[in-house]
Amino acid sequence: MYSFAQRQDTKVFDEPLFAHYAEHTGIELGRGTHEVVQQMEKDGEKIIKEVILGEHNKPVVFIKSLANQLVGVDKSFLQRTQNIFLIRDPLEIINAYTKFLEKPTMTHIGIKAVYDLHSEISKQGLSTILLTYKDLLKHPETMLQKLCTSLEIPFDKNMLSWQAGPKPEDGGWAKIWYTSLHKSTGFKTYQAKEINLPESLHSLAEESRKYYDLLYKCALKP
């Protein structure tokens, strides 16, 4: 999201369907996020019409969202969008969530929702571009060039770096989730970490890995 926000031709939105998703599912979101939800538009169809497909003052519109946030809405709008999927090692996702939730679920992790959505729209012959968090961090310029080529937009070197600190595009949850991100000025160097999850999360990790491995076969490679 921060990368695309550096483009002069691009307007960026940070999870406009967040409150719709929270209201529709009643899912536990972690500390501080319920207050944010109350201040956001909760009508998913209205958000799709006015934000995702709405008129904007720039030719490129980048919507950061999560696959599981499309619950309870008409997904036919995806016929009119370029659909980018970014996947990350499930162990890393689960480990990150444990800092905010005692026992995250598959709904939180989202990898099954990504797999289901990617499969659904691929079968319809719709636009799908998939890349991995690991490859993006290890080869940022190469992967962004490949992504821009797939999107049929010019690559912009400004996408490789940004100013540290909060951004105008940040969602209301940034003060909770983006603390380390706000210290960044670009894509950090990828470093594999040893992760030891509690036994209670082992089955979630194993199930998540199956979906990740299937999706990885479809990903852009460096």
**Packed helices 90-97 and 202-216: angle between N→C axes, nearest 10 degrees:** 140
CB 146 within 8 A of CB 9: no
Q: Comparing C-alpha atoms, which of 117, 85, 118, 90 is closest to residue 104?
A: 90
**3-state SS class at 130:** strand
pLDDT confidence tier of residue 108, bands split at 50, 70 and 90: confident
- Domains of the chain (ranges; CATH) run 2-216 (3.40.50.300)
pLDDT confidence tier of residue 150, bands split at 50, 70 and 90: very high
Sign of the dihedral defined by the CA atoms of residues 59, 62, 68, 72, in that order = negative
First CA to last CA distance, the chain: 20
Residue type (1 letter), 13: F
Residue type (1 letter), 16: P
Least confident of 46-55, 59-68, 189-198: 189-198
Least confident of 77-86, 89-98, 129-138: 89-98
pLDDT confidence tier of residue 177, bands split at 50, 70 and 90: confident
